[in-house]
Amino acid sequence: MRLKGDNAPMSSAPEPRDQQYLSLILQKREVSKVYKPRFGRAREISLDEFRMLYGNHAFYSWFGLNNPLVYAAHNAAGGMTSLYHQIGTGCEQLFRRLIRDQFTLMAVQAAWSFTITVPGRVGRTVSSLSITER
């Protein structure tokens, strides 16, 4: 709750800008709600596709890895990883937005990147964590 100059309480409703900031974070969690595992494939696979792919496979059935609980475990673990990634992405977007708003910058002026270097390999430049600007 914010206070007026005379210390009388103002409305407890978030201000429009505060609501925008909150939305940046909350929108990111929606991505994780629809997560599906890939199991080494190029695209996500459903439980039915998992059953088709692994249901009659000798190796997977010998070890019980064709069980729908394996799919559920992969879905839960990947969903949690996705959630953590999305929280990080949302925090980066929020930080970038705060900088833009505080200093009246355009999106391009608040962009940054860094290069990850590994000995013996080509450096990889990371510019942001899946940023989508409005």
pLDDT by residue (tens digit) across 61-95?
A: 999 999 999 999 999 999 999 999 999 989 989 99
In a domain, 59, yes or no: yes
In a domain, 7, yes or no: no
Give the pTM. 0.67
In a domain, 65, yes or no: yes
Look up the domain containing 107 and give its range. 17-126
Total domains present in the chain? 1
In a domain, 4, yes or no: no
What pLDDT digit, counting tens, does each position of 17-27 carry?
Answer: 999 999 998 99
In a domain, 115, yes or no: yes
Helix (H) or strand (E) holding 114: strand 114-116
How open is the CA angle 103-109-114, to the nearest 5 degrees?
A: 120
